[in-house]
Amino acid sequence: MADVLVLRAIRGNARTLNLNSKRLQQAPRALGSLSQLTNLQMKNNLLCQLPPEVAALSNLTVLNLGNNIFEQVPPELKYLHSLQTLHLFRNKITGIPPDVFDGLENLLFVNLNNNQLEHLPPEIHKLQRLEKLSINHNLLKDIPKELCVLQNLQELHLGNNQLETLPEQIGYLTNLKELHVYRNNLIGLPEGICRLRKLRILDVAANQIQSFPSRMNEFPLQELYCEENPLLKREPVTAIQDEEILSLKEMTARFILSHVQDRDSMIREQIQHYPETKKILSSRNICDLCGKWFLDMWLECVKFVGIKKKMKTSSNIQLLPVKILICSYRCFNQRQSDMYGVAVQ
């Protein structure tokens, strides 16, 4: 039956071929004669590989292989240089061959929902034109930072995975409009997320988030979904001690940092000779109250900011807890009344 359809397509010089739901265990080899084909539909079959002949489909822009039994993204896809839309949802995919992205430079949309992927290869950065990536319902444990160089990406769907963090570099996705990360294990969001000036929808429902990054309220979100998170409540905590004991490393770091901050040219120059020290100091934080720099001992506080009227949110929330880092108990005791202590790092 499928062969008849392929032959008919060859004779008719067809641009679209529909082989959905044909119980195919193998894709017909005659497909290779359909070089004019732009749209190939083969969802709801029993395919686990593609024949080498598909390499001839140089004009194919849409390929639907959803609901089959592929265990990896078929390596033959790398020959489909015109491909723009790729559906591979509902397969059994656990891996992506790194070189499959080599020839997919025109891909705009990839749908890998409902598979078993744990990782994405860093080579994903080769999909330079990608606008929408959907990997809901997989087993993703991390996101490679290389994904964050995809300058055209507008929608990223990562719901129902096992992510505990998002890369700080996510802020480089400057054209991102929608980020869906519901039902993961995120314990927080990177500060970098506040650089996403075009982000309109952020869905982080059902994670482990207690507070949001400090500049969270500055970016023009239209929709924020954050239900089913252990968001901090507005409960005051008082300082339990007046002065803390800093480690030698922290004291030294603060000493050097304060000189750098005061534009002490001698220290600035000296530091250039110690790349290791420079590297350590580059991970400094800034006190939200006094503005001074510190290294890695701080008091974590939370501030509650009102949600903009125009923003659509989960129904149970009016105030958003945002994270504030403070350098010392001295600063903590001078804090504004709307700030609450959370934990000592």
Given the rule CB under 5 A, which residues bind Zn ion?
287, 289-290, 327, 331
Q: Which residues contact 230 (CB under 8 A, 6 or more apart)?
A: 208, 209, 210
Q: Which two tokens stand for residue 123?
A: 């080579």
User: Which residue, 13 or 238, has its beta carbon nearer to Zn ion?
Assistant: 238
Give the chain's length.
Answer: 345
In the complex, the smallest distance separating the C-beta of residue 291 from Zn ion, rounded to whole angstroms, is 7
Whole-number minimum distance, CB 301 to Zn ion, in Å?
Answer: 11
Nearer to Zn ion, 281 or 286 (CB): 286
SS3 for the chain is CHHHHHHHHHHCCCCEEECCCCCCCCCCHHHHHCCCCCEEECCCCCCCCCCHHHHHCCCCCEEECCCCCCCECCHHHHHCCCCCEEECCCCCCCECCHHHHHHCCCCCEEECCCCCCCCCCHHHHHCCCCCEEECCCCCCCCCCHHHHHCCCCCEEECCCCCCCCCCHHHHHCCCCCEEECCCCCCCCCCHHHHHCCCCCEEECCCCCCCCECCCHHHCCCCEEECCCCCCCCCCCCCCCCCCCCCCHHHHHHHHHHHHHHCCCHHHHHHHCCCHHHHHHHCCCEECCCCCCEECCCCEEEEEEEECCCCCEECCCCCEEEEEEEECCHHHHHCCCCCEEEEEEC
- Between 148 and 327, name the residue whose CB sits nearer to Zn ion: 327
| Closest distance of CB 245 from Zn ion, Å | 16
C-beta of 292: minimal distance to Zn ion in Å?
5
Residue reference for tokens 């593609």: 50
Distance in Å, CB of 185 to Zn ion, minimum: 32
Q: Which is nearer to Zn ion, 133 or 327 (CB)?
A: 327
**Is the Cβ of residue 133 or residue 297 nearer to Zn ion in the bound state?**
297
Question: In terms of CB distance, is 141 or 259 closer to Zn ion?
Answer: 259
In the complex, minimum distance from the CB of residue 329 to Zn ion, in angstroms, rounded to a whole number: 10
The nearer residue to Zn ion, 50 or 327, going by C-beta atoms, is: 327
CA distance 22 to 19: 6
Query: Least distance in Å: CB of 328 to Zn ion?
Result: 6
| Closer residue to Zn ion (CB): 253 or 327 | 327
- Minimum distance from residue 287 beta carbon to Zn ion (Å): 3
